[in-house]
Amino acid sequence: MITAATISRIFHAANIEEVVGEYVALKKRGGNLLGLCPFHNERTPSFTVTPNKGIYKCFGCGKAGTAVGFLMEHEQMNYPEALKWLAAKYGIEVEEDGELDREQLQADAKERESLLIALDWSAMHFKNILLNEAEGQNIGLSYFEERGFRADTIEKFGLGYCLDSWDAFHQAAFKAGFKPDYLEKGGLVKKRDDGSYFDFFKGRVMFPIHNLSGKVIGFGGRVMQKDAKTAKYMNSPESEVYHKSDTLYGIFQARKAISQLENCYLVEGYTDVITLHQAGIQNVVASSGTSLTEGQIKLLKRFTENVTVLYDGDFAGIKASLRGIDLLLTQGLNVKVVQFPDGEDPDSYCRKLGGDDFGKFLAETTEDFIRFKTGLLLKDTNNDPIKKAEAMRSVAESVALIPDNLKREVYLRECALLFGFGEEVFGKEVTAIRRRNRIDKDGDKRHEPTGRIEATGIPLSIETPGITDEFQERDLIGILLKLGNLPFEETTVMKWVIEDLQASGIVFEVAVYQRIFDEFAKQAEGSETFDDMHFINHPDIEISTRAVNLISEKYTLSPHWEERYEVTIKTTEQALPHDILSAINRLKIRKVNRLMDEVGKSLEGLVDEEEVENKQLIRKHYEFLRKELSSNSGTAIVR
């Protein structure tokens, strides 16, 4: 792990104008710099760099961040990679801490580099066999040509062939100076009981697997013998550089296209990826025949939140993989699917149609995953009410996984219509599943935190599908970021806001805002103020991006505006009391409104007079509180 002191030096040295200027032509405009956004197509510049704050912000697509964030977004680096890139640029020595001493760290780095060198040499060797030796040409190259792969495609993916011999590969590697240990750690050879070695991929065409920076970290191999009593495909075993659950085949070749097109096609096999690339569809990766993992999804999310899964036409296979796709929903991705005709897969159907028609087919048949799943399961019910209920519950389980309240509400309504169930029935099922999932995750029957306003004892936390407080939460976090260190009510804005929200038990619904608030609360325990750059330079790129967005101003007031229009503008200090109280009370009012709605719904169908009277008293209490909050904030009552 890079030390905090090194990270601080890197951020201090990094010049946002220099870093962004290597990729974007910037022109001076006032105190800022302006250029065409590199993250979306635009004709009128809206990409702004603010040197004195060390940030960039596009007012067209919303991308924002620091020099580190820019490298992560534009070059698809992770946080440590971006830091090391900047360290190299500005001549800063990277210090890393941990339990291991410096000599051990250097030894580990050397071993890792040696392993990567061995893997890279092996890829070159397999490619040379494929192109220049008789067996490679007759078997391997013929196979690739039969699949329609052109020479430039073979070169692009570094395809190769391993001779059908137990020792040809490792004898060549030994001759080139590679130690058996590295070949074994890379999964290229295996050791027998007698201490001798044999080639792991003998007689197979080779598909090198690359990491994000293009280094070979492993291989997939397809057997060529039709009667071979072995697995059709074999992958490299886990190693120091290759972790299958964190790797996607083709991500190196596809990363820029995925970012530019804001969508990723997800397929199963190596040849699916290669065929689609050759057809001009380059935003495609493969899970390499395994069920999707959380690590693979996190890798995808670095480039896009939109994933389109390409299914083959096998009905049983589709049903079996539905639950695996649910993991994409859990991670907040927008999931669509394409189903191919029976007997076809992305590779075969693309070759059959050709690139242009295949692209049209994708555009015309892409369907939202939840709607696809609903239609698929409904077809299988045969109007059996029990099967229909089971299908509804299965779809509800997928809907319940969606973290975004608004999206979940939209799906809830649509699925209720498709199944013919009442929206309330479907909504209750989704709510019950979400509650059960929380219980399972936490290990006990834990409820969502509930809060209280000190003066009234009224709870102010509730989950209502489709209704969120995102804008009110955003405004409060914006006030903390921009004004948190200003004096207010014999303390600071930060301290006052934190104490008020904690006393009321307010819990933010938008996860990133809750994380920012938690960090503010932690800082407030030991200090009245906070470091302005803490959130801007935050290692969590989502927090950093939100912080930059919230402190960025698209427009600045002309110095002659007041004089020209004879209007007096309040200073920040003058407007501060109203702004803070208004922001907090608007959030509380929304929560009270929703609680009133819940009480109203609970009254429907009640016959017990005592319970009805009790509910009505609670509602009156909420009405009184709403009026108080509204008058205190000077705002109209909102719904």
Encode pLDDT of 19-46 as tens digits.
998 888 888 887 789 988 888 877 788 8
pLDDT at 245 over 90: no
Q: How far apart are CA 353 and CA 555, in angstroms?
A: 51
Per-residue pLDDT at 314: 65
Q: Which tokens is 111 given? A: 């071993």
pLDDT at 500 over 80: yes
* The model's pTM: 0.59
What average pLDDT does the chain have?
82
CB atoms closer than 10 angstroms to residue 234: 16
pLDDT at 631 over 70: no
Strand 367-368 relative to strand 306-311: parallel, antiparallel, unpaired?
A: unpaired
Residues 6 or more apart in contact with residue 307 via CB below 8 angstroms: 263, 264, 266, 300, 328, 333, 334, 335, 336
Task: Give the CA radius of gyration of the chain.
Answer: 29
Q: Which backbone phi and psi does 348 adopt, to 5 degrees?
A: -65, -40
Residue 590 confidence class, pLDDT cut points 50, 70, 90: confident
State in Å, rounded, how far the first CA of the chain is from the last one: 48
Which one-letter DSSP state was computed for residue 411? H
Class of residue 172 by CB neighbours under 10 A (exposed 0-12, middle 13-18, buried 19+): middle
Per-residue pLDDT at 452: 33
pLDDT at 571 over 60: no
Per-residue pLDDT at 313: 62
* CB-CB contact of 64 with 55 (8 Å): yes
pLDDT tens profile 266-275? 998 999 999 9
Q: Please give the share of the chain, as a percent, with pLDDT higher than 90.
A: 27
What are the angstrom distances between the C-alpha of 619 and each of 451, 468, 595, 613? 17, 21, 8, 10
Residue 260 confidence class, pLDDT cut points 50, 70, 90: confident
CA dihedral 151, 152, 153, 159 (to 10 degrees): 60
Per-residue pLDDT at 223: 94
pLDDT tens profile 511-520? 888 999 988 8
Residues 6 or more apart in contact with residue 162 via CB below 8 angstroms: 126, 129, 169, 199, 201, 202, 203, 204, 206, 221
Q: Which residue has the higher pLDDT, 103 or 134?
A: 134
Per-residue pLDDT at 290: 67
pLDDT at 443 over 70: no
Per-residue pLDDT at 569: 52
pLDDT mean over 377-397: 84
Per-residue pLDDT at 39: 86
Per-residue pLDDT at 460: 47
What are the angstrom distances between the C-alpha of 542 and each of 89, 188, 504, 574? 25, 39, 27, 32
Per-residue pLDDT at 174: 94
Per-residue pLDDT at 550: 86
Q: Which backbone phi and psi does 376 adopt, to 5 degrees?
A: -65, -45
Residue 603 confidence class, pLDDT cut points 50, 70, 90: confident
pLDDT at 462 over 60: no
* CB-CB contact of 460 with 592 (8 Å): yes
Per-residue pLDDT at 493: 85
pLDDT mean over 174-193: 93
pLDDT at 350 over 50: yes
Report the candidate in 121, 112, 109, 143 with the shortest Cα–Cα distance to residue 219.
Answer: 121
Per-residue pLDDT at 404: 83
Residues 6 or more apart in contact with residue 212 via CB below 8 angstroms: 76, 77, 78, 251, 252, 255
Ranking 76-80, 196-200, 322-326, 463-467 by mean pLDDT, the lowest is 463-467
Taking phi first (over 0 means left), then psi (-120 to 50 degrees means alpha), and beta for anything else, what does residue 605 get?
A: left
- Name, of 85-99, 177-191, 482-496, the range with top average pLDDT: 177-191
